[in-house]
């Protein structure tokens, strides 16, 4: 059984506070885009993960195997072999690992006919990672808390073209959060997103940019180049290192590949 697991971008990301458990409360908007990994499950004698097109380690710390073990603790399911073909870059802030894990939960639910509700799948997903529940419904969401408190939001970018650039820089979530400090903001993200898109760059920010652009100036250069090329809005996604731009059209962007791999996803 096969499923394609898509990526997401973050439109705005504000670090609200640091929690007593070491995590951070945040607010952001998750927006799904068509950059895909492929995940497949097959019968097997033991739980096993095989990964193609990536140097990811296929051990029990991988979220796909964690998803299997999470459900196997509560349901009588037989072992499966998981095949993962990576296309969503890692360390890019695009949610590839979270999307893969959520896809495994859905595949196991369907394959073994477990009849787990969507709400319960999201509860399981929240145990795997902060943005995993988003990929269960896979709709544009305003996220609060650690990223698991989701509210559907009306945002349609279908008339625009989204360009994502992933430079040869890997930023772990731990590294990104170690350099960010909670900051007060007077901007209401849910209201700011209703403004004309060309006004977003003055109001809608990603708090990780402040520290990461200093350490990785290339990422800041990519954002500036996207605006120079005519982007209506550009931002680093999540905790980096990918940068996306939202354009009216994508002509004249051929030279962007000198900054990294260029993805041209369309709407879901």
Active site residues: 8, 131
Helix axes 63-72, 96-111, angle to 10 degrees: 30
In DSSP terms, which residues pair with 236 in a beta bridge?
243
- Distance in angstroms (rounded) separating the CA atoms of residues 95 and 30: 10
Q: At CA 263, angle to CA 105 and CA 193, rounded to 5?
A: 75
Give alpha helix (H) positions in 93-208.
96-111, 118-126, 134-137, 173-178, 189-192, 200-203
Provide the edge-to-edge strand list for the sheet that holds 261-263.
233-236, 243-247, 161-166, 261-263
- Distance in angstroms (rounded) separating the CA atoms of residues 62 and 258: 31
Q: Are 171 and 216 in contact (CB under 8 A)?
A: yes
Structure token digits, residue 38: 């492929």
Q: CB count, 10 Å around CB of 66?
A: 15
């Amino acid at each position: 059984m096969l499923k394609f697991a898509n990526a997401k971008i973050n439109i705005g990301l504000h670090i609200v506070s640091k929690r007593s458990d070491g995590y951070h409360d945040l607010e952001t908007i998750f927006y799904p885009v068509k950059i895909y990994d492929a995940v497949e499950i097959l019968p097997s004698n033991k739980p096993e993960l095989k990964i193609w097109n990536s140097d990811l380690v296929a051990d029990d710390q991988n979220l796909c195997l964690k998803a299997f073990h999470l459900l196997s603790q509560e349901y009588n399911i037989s072992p499966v072999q998981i095949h993962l073909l990576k296309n969503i870059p890692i360390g890019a802030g695009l949610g590839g690992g979270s999307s893969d894990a959520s896809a495994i939960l859905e595949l196991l639910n369907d394959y073994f006919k477990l009849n787990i509700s969507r709400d319960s799948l999201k509860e399981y997903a929240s145990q795997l990672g902060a943005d995993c529940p988003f990929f269960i419904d896979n709709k544009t969401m305003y996220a609060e808390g650690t990223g698991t408190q989701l509210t559907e939001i009306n945002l349609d970018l279908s008339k625009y073209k989204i360009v994502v650039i992933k430079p040869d820089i890997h930023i772990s979530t731990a590294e990104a959060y170690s350099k960010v400090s909670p900051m007060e903001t007077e901007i209401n993200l849910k209201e700011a997103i209703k403004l004309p898109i060309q006004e977003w760059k003055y109001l809608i920010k990603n708090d990780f940019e402040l520290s990461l652009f200093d350490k990785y100036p290339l990422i800041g250069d990519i954002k500036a180049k996207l605006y120079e090329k005519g982007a209506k809005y550009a931002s680093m996604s999540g905790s980096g290192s990918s940068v996306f731009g939202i354009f009216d059209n994508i002509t004249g962007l051929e030279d962007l590949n000198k900054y990294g791999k260029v993805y041209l996803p369309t709407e879901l």
